[in-house]
Amino acid sequence: MAVLRATAFAWALASAALATAASATDDYPSRPVKIVAPFGAGGPADLYTRMVAQELQNALHQSFVVENRPGAGTTIGTEAVAKSPPDGYTLLVVSGTQTVNETLYAKKAYHLMQDLVPVAPIVDSDLVLVVNPSVPAKNLSELIALAKAKPGTLNFGSSGPGSNYHMAAELLRNLTGINIVHVAYKGSSGMRTDILSGQIQILFDSVPTMAPLIKEGKVRALGTSGRTRSSILPDVPAISETVPGFAATLWVGLMAPAGTPQPIVEKLNSEISKILSRPDIQSGWTKQGAIPLIMSQARFKTFMDGQVATWAKVINDNHIPLIK
């Protein structure tokens, strides 16, 4: 009888815990949700995250507030979320940069895919390779030939080590064998100023950001980074047309601290997928050169695992110094 009473008591406790968890999930969100963006305001990732945050607020009738917390190549903001309570009220903006950092940083206070859980992707945007008009290369083949003829004389900028812009150029170096010099900035504004002035000669940047400057003739576009041509730069060849296997886009999504209840993760994934499936979002973003990225939570995890492995290989193959 004692055993039966103990078993019944255990079942009662378990049932109560399940009921409490279910109630918390049903009520979610019952207070404001903070979304930590571990980079500065104003870039494409920040812009599209804020759009989704507003739509989540409209759909779930609770505030979703984006808080920019830049520094140390996204590791400061990422660590803060990794150490936050796993209750669904603190989320992280994640991009390719954090998957790069898993290998690039020799020491971090967190492991991305262990201490955080993927929630949902948001957007995928092609990058575009541009040069200052003073560079004589009119196409990618000519740029590769110029870089091989004058190794170590052409500079490319980025918003910092491990950024999407940095790693796209490293991938190009890896696949073509060219020797171009990395100039790292503390954000994206400096690299954009210097490509216009000619202080750097080469830059990867997002299509939505660079398209107006390309059309004004302030920079020359040599290739886009997706597997096919960009819908808003259709006359610019995809880099893969010249360099087979090249693909490096700027994608953005959300993560949550590990241990966040799966029903909350699934609820967020479902709501974000609904938002991104809307015709107005699809058409509006596509016109800007940004593609709404829709995946199940499980598929997004698989995608992120693949990104970690891809960039680890690029870092190791190019002997990129680790940040200590």
Over the stretch 248-282, which tens digit does the pLDDT of each residue have?
A: 999 999 999 999 999 999 999 999 999 999 999 99
Per-residue pLDDT band at 317 (split at 50, 70, 90): confident
Residue 16: pLDDT band (50, 70, 90) is: very low
320 — pLDDT class (breaks 50, 70, 90): confident
pLDDT digits (tens, 9 = 90+) for 168-226: 999 999 999 999 999 999 878 899 999 999 999 999 999 988 999 999 999 999 999 99
pLDDT at 22: 52
Q: Which residues contact 252 (CB under 8 A, 6 or more apart)?
A: 44, 45, 48, 49, 93, 94, 95, 121, 122, 123, 124, 293
Residues 292 and 314: their CA atoms lie apart, in Å, by: 26
Predicted confidence at residue 9, as pLDDT, reads: 53
Cα–Cα distance, 233 to 221 (Å, whole number): 9
Helix pair 297-317, 96-104: axis angle to 10 deg:
50
pLDDT tens profile 150-170: 999 999 999 888 888 999 999
Q: Looking at the DSSP assignment, which residues form a beta bridge with residue 238?
A: 224
Please tell me the pTM assigned to this model: 0.84
The arithmetic mean of pLDDT across residues 312-319, rounded, is: 88
Which pLDDT score, from 0 to 100, does residue 24 have?
55
Instruction: Report the CATH number of the 20-125+250-317 domain.
Output: 3.40.190.150
Confidence bin at 319 (pLDDT 50/70/90): confident
State yes or no: pLDDT of 25 exceeds 80: no
Which residue spans of the chain are classified as CATH 3.40.190.150? 20-125+250-317
CATH architecture of the domain covering 127-241:
3-Layer(aba) Sandwich (3.40)
Q: What is the mean pLDDT of the chain?
A: 91
Which pLDDT belongs to residue 73? 86
What is the model's pLDDT at position 89?
Answer: 98
pLDDT per residue over 132-145, tens digit each?
A: 999 999 999 999 99
Tens-place pLDDT, residues 37-77: 998 888 888 999 999 999 999 999 999 999 999 888 899 99
CATH 3.40.190.10 domain span(s) along the chain: 127-241
The answer to whether 192 and 159 are in contact (CB under 8 A) is: no
- For the four alpha carbons of 118, 120, 123 and 126, in that order, the dihedral sign comes to positive
Residue among 145, 183, 168 at smallest CA distance from 224: 168
pLDDT value of position 144: 98
For strands 116-125 and 290-292, give the pairing: antiparallel
Q: Which of 55, 6, 72, 18 is nearest to 261 (CA)?
A: 18
